[in-house]
Structure 1
Amino acid sequence: MRLVAFLVATLAVISGAFAVDVQKSVIITYPSGTPNSVVDQAKQAVRDNGGVILHEYHLIKGFAAKVGEKVLESVAAWGEPYNALIEEDEVVSAL
């Protein structure tokens, strides 16, 4: 019985070690009054954690990125005082 418990615990640890953060395509935008340092900090966090900045917007403050879900939680927390909007990038059609 102890062997089974040991094997289950070992498999749980191994599966956690090989867990991969799911990558999502997102658009992150900020209101116009947001300091540039906040946007730059979010972009740097994406890059530091293996994400990719796909596009930087100039008419609005924000960017499109492919990033892991764990990083999105951090970026959302930093942007909360500035009302950052994080939404999945998806195809939209009129019909």
Structure 2
Amino acid sequence: MSATPRVSIAFCTQCRWLLRAGWMAQELLSTFGTELGEVALVPGTGGVFKVEVDGTLVWERERDGGFPDAAELKRRVRDVIAPEKSLGHSEKKSTAPEA
């Protein structure tokens, strides 16, 4: 993993998903700041919406069944770039009883 990971968000221009991609980029930059080296918006066609971190696919619209909510995308990106990082209130609460 590089010192400053690159996130790419590929989105369909035909579907007009630029605003959604831009919002996801803003959410990631707000959460991770300088822990990320770059967040790139990559225009595409054919219904594409996928998010990669240094080439590792973390979300793909067809594979994962639609679009991620911001909290889920942040968790998946965090798991790749900084698994030890707490996301605070964005973190899912465990439903398992504590031992």
Larger helix proportion of the pair:
1
**If you compute each CA radius of gyration, which structure gives the higher value, 1 or 2?**
1
TM-score using structure 2 length: 0.32
TM-score using structure 1 length: 0.33
Could you say which structure has the greater relative contact order, defined with CA pairs below 8 angstroms and 6 or more residues apart? 1
